[in-house]
């Protein structure tokens, strides 16, 4: 007889809420009515925690200390029961409005381990070759000057910027061919080392500036060409789930400019154009834009992604807190942004002096072992907690989520991510870099 899996209250509640939100009648309900039906489906675990499946099709945890609901994946192995809850205490932010439940699925996997497919890379290489033949006089470099030499045309920068902006977390295997094809255009070696290139995620404003500068200089055809390069690049990137959500969002922002040249010309400055681009994105894709529109919410989602990726750990909260401990937080901004479980785990590390180290240190602080890289070079402190994912796919997912979390914290606070990665991320790299998903037999043909 086939064993019947135990009933999972979280899975059942999630399915029920998804069905309600998908029902056309949901759009006709007032916000108080939506809150009422959601409040009746709140779950309580034996430890007293209250959980709600709500906005963005994600779980929210009630924090009794401050009365707020925090994004947090639930302990799906825990028992839970449904309880009534006063609808009035549910803030509008946790109530689904509908399109947020249809967000494009993405992946937290880093580009360290599973490489970008050879087909995608080849299509971008062809586009890059054509872009590199443009004149820098017609396409001057008005953004990404820290990456490319001054004689590189902005068409190349548009392609690079689109890749980096669309990537969930732009950390790439040092042998990743998608990055090496840009080698001849680079101003200096990319940040990172022979293992990983920890690349910065550019703001949308950098892409906007490439286009608007040409338009204001009277070169409307060049402006249109740059927008087309971005659209062509995004279209190619959509085939990889790690790029897809933002690639789709970028297409919806850029394509109106291609259909109606001069659409943004009346706008007064680059920031106004950026806002116009963001405004064109449909509601179902806007979670991909939180990095631009709501950095604090974007950070919360990144922490959620990381906690989900660490679900294989015996104590996911403690494991997530260990990665958060890598962040630089001299102003104490982090703990108030965490749910009470994460906050307690983080503050335990903080009391032990195990927080905020690898963001600033390159030598061993008192009491910290330093992680040695091959060749005997010690560069970053060892991680607070050793994480051992069950397989390579899980390791890549944790690595991508952890780097995205670090970038999100930088966008929110201005803290810089070290060029050689944070301690927890660097420790995971060793589990991935020696195992390749692909073998580029045709590399010699592209050298």
CB 158 within 8 A of CB 226: yes
Q: How many residues does the chain have?
A: 447
Burial 364-379 (b: 16+ CB within 10 A, else e): eeeebebbebeeeeeb
**What is the rounded CA–CA span in Å between residue 364 and residue 215?**
51
The predicted pLDDT at position 194 comes to 78
The predicted model scores a pTM of 0.90
Sequence-ordered list of residues with C-beta below 8 angstroms from that of 84, at least 6 positions apart, any chain = 39, 40, 42
End-to-end alpha carbon distance in the chain = 58
The predicted pLDDT at position 430 comes to 77
Residue 192 φ/ψ region, left for φ over 0, alpha for ψ in the -120 to 50 degree band, beta for the rest: left
- For helices 204-216 and 154-166, the axis angle rounded to 10 degrees is 150
CA dihedral 296, 297, 303, 307 (to 10 degrees): 160
Query: Taking CA 170 as the corner, what is the angle to CA 169 and CA 172, rounded to the nearest 5 degrees?
Result: 120
Q: Which ranges of the chain have pLDDT less than 70?
A: 1-7, 357-382, 435-447
The predicted pLDDT at position 366 comes to 33
Q: Sign of the CA dihedral 268, 295, 254, 227?
A: positive
pLDDT tens figures, 10-32? 999 999 999 999 999 999 999 99
pLDDT tens figures, 417-440? 888 888 888 888 877 777 655 444
């Amino acid at each position: 007889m086939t064993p019947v899996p135990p009933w999972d209250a979280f899975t059942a509640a999630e399915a029920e809420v998804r069905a309600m939100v998908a029902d056309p009648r949901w759009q006709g309900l007032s916000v108080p009515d939506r809150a009422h039906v959601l409040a009746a489906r709140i779950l309580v675990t034996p430890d007293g925690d209250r959980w709600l499946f709500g906005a963005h099709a994600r779980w929210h945890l009630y924090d009794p200390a401050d009365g707020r609901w925090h994004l947090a994946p639930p302990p799906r192995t825990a028992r839970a029961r449904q309880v009534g809850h006063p609808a009035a205490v549910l803030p509008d932010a946790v109530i689904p409005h509908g399109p947020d439940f249809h967000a494009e699925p993405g992946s937290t996997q880093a580009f360290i381990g599973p490489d970008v497919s050879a087909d995608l890379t080849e299509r971008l290489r062809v586009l890059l070759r054509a872009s590199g033949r443009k004149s820098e006089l017609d396409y001057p470099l008005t953004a990404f000057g820290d990456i490319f030499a001054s004689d590189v045309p902005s068409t190349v920068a548009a392609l690079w910027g689109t890749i980096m902006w669309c990537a969930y977390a732009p950390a790439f295997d040092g042998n990743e061919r998608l990055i090496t094809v840009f080698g001849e255009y680079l101003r200096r070696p990319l940040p990172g080392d022979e293992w990983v290139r920890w690349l910065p995620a550019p703001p949308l404003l950098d892409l906007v500036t490439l286009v608007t500068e040409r338009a204001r200089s009277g070169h409307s055809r060049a402006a249109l060409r740059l927008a087309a390069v971005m659209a062509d690049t995004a279209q190619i990137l959509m085939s990889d789930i790690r790029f897809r959500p933002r690639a789709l969002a970028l297409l919806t922002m850029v394509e109106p400019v291609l259909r109606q040249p001069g659409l943004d010309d009346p706008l007064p400055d680059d920031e106004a154009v950026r806002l116009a681009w963001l405004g064109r994105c449909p509601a179902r894709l806007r979670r991909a834009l939180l990095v631009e529109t709501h950095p604090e919410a974007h950070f919360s989602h990144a922490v959620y992604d990381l906690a989900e990726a660490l679900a294989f750990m015996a104590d996911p909260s403690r494991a997530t807190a260990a990665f958060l401990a890598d962040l630089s937080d001299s102003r104490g901004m982090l703990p108030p942004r965490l749910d009470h479980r994460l906050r307690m785990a983080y503050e335990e590390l903080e009391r032990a002096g195990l927080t905020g180290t690898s963001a600033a240190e390159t030598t061993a602080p008192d009491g910290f072992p330093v992680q040695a890289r091959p060749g005997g070079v010690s560069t970053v402190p060892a991680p607070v907690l050793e994480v051992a994912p069950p397989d390579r796919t899980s390791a890549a997912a944790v690595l991508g989520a952890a780097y995205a979390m670090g970038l999100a914290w930088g966008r929110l606070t201005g803290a810089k991510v070290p060029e050689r990665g944070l301690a927890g991320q660097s420790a995971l790299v060793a589990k991935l870099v020696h195992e390749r998903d692909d073998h580029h037999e045709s590399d010699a043909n592209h050298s």
